[in-house]
Amino acid sequence: MAYWLLKTEPDKYSYADLERDGTTVWDGVTNALALKHIRTMLPGDLAWIYHTGKERQITGLAEIVTQPYPDPALNDVKLVVVKVQAVRPVTQPVTLAQIKQEDQFSGFDLLRLPRLSVVPVSEVHWQHLIKLTTSET
């Protein structure tokens, strides 16, 4: 199993929208590195949903439910998508500012490559994020 962080603009598609819909096609990704990451996703992989813009925080947990496949809305086999399913909202959102303050996130691609919309998350970073998203501080 792999772990991911998927960025979305909450005014366009938020975690609440994903919860309402149950599943959605994760589309709109055009960056070559982000597409490379999507091509390696497998059903059962887990992903944090991260709101960009003014929020800049992790808001929910999702699961990848399909293999990557060409975006059916576009005529370009290089642009791939996956379907994701809502798992649960986080108990405690984790902001970008919190992540930047934590030494445990050294080397995290969210900080190294801040414009990347699909970010792999290491096991160590994943476990630390679980602690932060479930704490009641």
Asked if residues 80 and 49 have their Cβ atoms less than 8 Å apart, the reply is: no
- pTM (two decimals): 0.95
Examine the pLDDT at 75 and tell me if it is beyond 90.
Answer: no
Domains of the chain: 3-134 (3.10.590.10)
Task: List phi, psi (to 5°) of 26.
Answer: -85, 95
- For 7, the token pair is 């960025």
| pLDDT, tens digit (0-9, with 9 covering 90-100), for 41-71 | 999 999 999 999 999 999 999 999 999 999 9
